[in-house]
Structure 1
Amino acid sequence: MSSRTPSRPLGTVTRGTTNPNRLRRMDRWIVAALGRELRRSDDPVAVDLGYGAAPWTAVELLGRLRTVRADAEVVGIEIDPERVARGRAYERPGLHFAHGGFEVPLPGPGARAPVLIRAANVLRQYEEAEVAAVWERLCARLAPGGLLVEGTCDEIGRRHVWVALGPAGPRTVTFATRLGSLDRPSDLAERLPKALIHRNVPGEPVHAFLSDFDRAWAASAPYGALGARQRWIRSARLLATDWPLTDGPTRWRQGELTVRWEALAPR
């Protein structure tokens, strides 16, 4: 990333595209994955980094987190001051908006460490070579046991792929979709996060994974008579014989599948 004076936020203004419920699949997964940590946190604050031209995703994230922790807080952070001003019209107890970037400034006194940083559709415009440094910077801001969730989805939230990272680095990759929108699992390749999207070529692990996923999907076609959900679950069972999946039928029923990062990491 280019060098900047300390007073300027780190990063570049995104297109800001957003829609209500766009991140509902990601939020649902976050609540399941992070619920235990939220419950025991002394400071259950989360960051919606680069929420876009409207504050819907920050508002919705707060609602999701408060199903687990009634005193959860969300800070929406944007590098565009005009977007921050629009967001502040929606502030209420537990929901705040701040001007900033990858330095993740949290308003108020003290050095607060977020239990969650969600950065959806933020790194898409950056170069692949810049991703590792951004991940490292954001992970360094996390509370112990916290998560950075960074990924990409389409405009109405039908298809998502995201990486979950802890303070020590990347852990998993999750593929999530509205199953009725899917012809084959490799359709999700267009939503791979920046660290992986240019690696979907022969010889790279993510390409091998998606190819195997398509083969499992084809082999599971008879289960389609029972619905797309049953076909997805059967495909996941087949994949699990060769790939280190970290979830099971409870998540698969949601149109999700999570695999360990090291299995898909670029060579």
Structure 2
Amino acid sequence: MTAGPRRRPGRPVGEITRGTTGHNRLRRCDRWTAAVYRPLLVAADRPLVVDLGYGASHVTTSELFRRLRRVRPDVEVVGLEIDPARVAAARPHERPGLTFARGGFELPVDRPPVIVRAFNVLRQYGESEAWAAWDLLRSRLAPGGVIVEGTCSEIGHRACWVALDARGPRTVTLAARLAGFDRPSALAERLPKTLIHRNVPGERVHAFLRDFDHAWQVCAPYGAYGARPRWTAAVELLAGSWPVAAVPPLGGRRRWRLGEVTLPWSALAPAGPPARARDATA
């Protein structure tokens, strides 16, 4: 059996993270979640969303709350943190529909959530532990619910995330602020824990990033019109050999122009089982 996040009787499941956060750090993921899972939020009865491991500030949870309320005005958002000091600091920012509580991967909320966002939470765990955390989170979801788990840079300009449901991982998304963008493979350092150590020859994610870099180079002439046309052309070229999402809500030129590309999980899934030894922090 795969070892999971550390469990201690009477304590939240998991470990305290560094807590680094900031305004708009998770804007790219929020924008994607609101667009892709709008039907889920609209159709749900009393939709609950959990922001797991929000960090040393309430800010990204509060931003998620405001963005999802544009989709579903009565959505409730709960921010969960293991560190009680972080919870105490966030509570003055509560308002109707937005609360903060102590908790970890066990998700101690009053009903199963329809969406769980967990960003920059699993980087300190080993690959096998990250898989176990996914399994635990999936077991807590409402029917039809989803988990959006990923990693982003310090200021959120580069991000990658996986969307999972009760069946397991479904999609992988890479997103970037294209100003000052160098090459697609620069996103490799933001891959989720279940993929970041798989960026080696013989693995699908390595082949994808290699082909993406090639498409980026081939489409260099579009750079005369800016990075956005070049990215869009590169993704369109890549879609000829990879199952890139090409229709809304997951894909298409409108989403590509935002600096996004989404693929089925199966296209990038690891070729073998996760390492059992604890990985070094990426």
Give the TM interval when normalised to the shorter protein: over 0.9
Determine whether 1:253 maps to 2:257.
yes
- The within-5 A match list for 1:29-108 is 29-106=32-109, 108=110
Task: State the secondary structure of the residue aligned to 2:244.
Answer: coil
Distance in 1 of aligned mates of 2:8 and 2:223:
56
Query: 1:3 offset after TM fit, Å?
Result: 5.2
Instruction: Give the 3 Å change call, closer, same or farther, for CA 215–3 of structure 1 in structure 2.
Output: closer
Q: Name which of 16, 19, 29 aligns with 1:13.
A: 16
Task: State the secondary structure of the residue aligned to 1:133.
Answer: helix
Q: Deviations over 1:168-192 (max 9, x none)?
A: 1100110000001311000101111
Query: 1:227 offset after TM fit, Å?
Result: 1.2
Distance in 2 of aligned mates of 1:69 and 1:98:
22
Name the structure 2 match of 1:263.
267
Provide the aligned C-alpha RMSD in A.
Answer: 1.0
Percent sequence identity over aligned pairs: 62
- Structure 1 residue identity aligned to 2:150: G
Distance in 2 of aligned mates of 1:41 and 1:2:
30
- Structure 2 residue identity aligned to 1:123: L
Aligned residues: 263
Name the structure 2 match of 1:155.
154
Q: Name which of 23, 27, 40 aligns with 2:26.
A: 23
Q: Deviations over 1:19-64 (max 9, x none)?
A: 1110000000000111011001002110000000011011000011
Query: 1:139 offset after TM fit, Å?
Result: 1.1
**TM-score, with normalisation over the residues of structure 2?**
0.91
Name the structure 2 match of 1:145.
144
- The within-5 A match list for 1:225-244 is 225-244=224-243
Name the structure 1 match of 2:174.
175
> Does the aligned pair in 2 maintain the 1:160–1:191 contact within 8 Å?
yes
- Structure 2 residue identity aligned to 1:92: R
Instruction: Give the 3 Å change call, closer, same or farther, for CA 216–17 of structure 1 in structure 2.
Output: same
Query: 1:4 offset after TM fit, Å?
Result: 3.0
Distance in 1 of aligned mates of 2:224 and 2:35:
29
Question: Which runs of 5 or more residues in structure 2 are unaligned?
Answer: 246-250, 272-282
**TM-score, with normalisation over the residues of structure 1?**
0.96
**Larger RCO, structure (CA 8 Å, separation 6 or more):** 2
Distance in 1 of aligned mates of 2:28 and 2:54:
16
Query: 1:5 offset after TM fit, Å?
Result: 3.7
Question: Which runs of 5 or more residues in structure 1 are unaligned?
Answer: none
- Structure 2 residue identity aligned to 1:144: P
Distance in 2 of aligned mates of 1:102 and 1:233:
37
> Does the aligned pair in 2 maintain the 1:172–1:261 contact within 8 Å?
yes
